[in-house]
Amino acid sequence: MKLSNLLRTFLVPTTFLLIAGCSWAAEGPRLVFTKSFPGSTPAYVEISVEKTGDSLYKEDPKDENPLQFKLSEADTSAVFALSDKVSRSPGPLESGLKIAFMGKKTFRWEGGAAVKEATFNYSEDVEAKALLDWFERISETERALIDLERSVRFDKLGVQDSILQIEVTRNQKRLVAAEQFLPLLDKVVKNEKYLHIARSRAAALAESIRGVK
């Protein structure tokens, strides 16, 4: 996993850019979300979602080895349904309100030769807010995965806390593509170097994700 670390403020102007003049919904549409917020953690996020559900997450625009995961069919459909509504928005997504800088956010729709972008700091558009929440959930999930991977490798005593945070995120219904946690959870379960309580917690969470009764 090659991911970046930390890295500001000022209001972002809204842009709605349409390149190549035609509808984005061509063959193999891809939805890309980026958020740049220097000084926050992470300072940069980029998430791309294919119509198949195949997705990538990175915290550095130059990262050539991003995290890969796959959204469920239901989640993919929900994301693209919202995406379609937002892409057809007749006006700018930026609210225009004088509020604090909350990060430069961009939705980008790619399909064939067509590329469409919408950039904003804060939006009051209902669909845009719902779509943003999806990407925030994905980001929270991948950050939890990164934290668990770090704990499994370098902080065996911290594994229990990492798993507990995943459970909290899942109970809040903010965990996405939970199956991606299974390899790490299984590794904890099978390795006696980890605390018994951590192994038990990992086993219970893995069973829940797999839907074992």
Range of the domain at 164: 15-210
Helix (H, G, I), strand (E, B) or coil at 67: strand
pLDDT at 59: 97
Backbone angles phi, psi at 99, to 5 degrees: -130, 170
Residue 9 lies in a domain: no
Domains held by the chain: number? 1
Whether 79 contacts 10, CB under 8 Å: no
Helices (H) and strands (E) in the chain, counts: 5, 7
Gap between the Cα atoms of 10 and 39, Å rounded? 12
Does any domain span residue 3? Answer: no
What DSSP element (H or E) covers 87? helix 73-87
Establish if 31 belongs to a structural domain.
Answer: yes
Q: Is residue 10 part of a domain?
A: no
* Tens-place pLDDT, residues 64-118: 999 999 999 999 999 999 999 999 988 899 999 999 999 999 999 998 778 999 9
171 in any annotated domain: yes
pLDDT at 212: 62
The series of mean pLDDT values per 10 residues for the chain, 213 residues long, is 37 37 53 97 97 97 95 98 94 93 97 89 97 98 98 97 98 97 98 97 97 65
* pLDDT at residue 113, rounded to an integer: 76
CB 75 within 8 A of CB 176: yes
Q: Give residue for tokens 């891809």.
A: 30
Quick check: is 56 in a domain?
yes
Greatest Cα pair distance in the chain: 59
Q: CA-CA distance, 10 to 104, in Å (whole number)?
A: 9
Decide: pTM greater than 0.75: yes
What is the model's pLDDT at position 28? 67
Q: Give the distance, in angstroms, between the CA of residue 133 and the centroid of all CA atoms in the same chain.
A: 9
* pLDDT of amino acid 162: 98
pLDDT of residue 211: 93
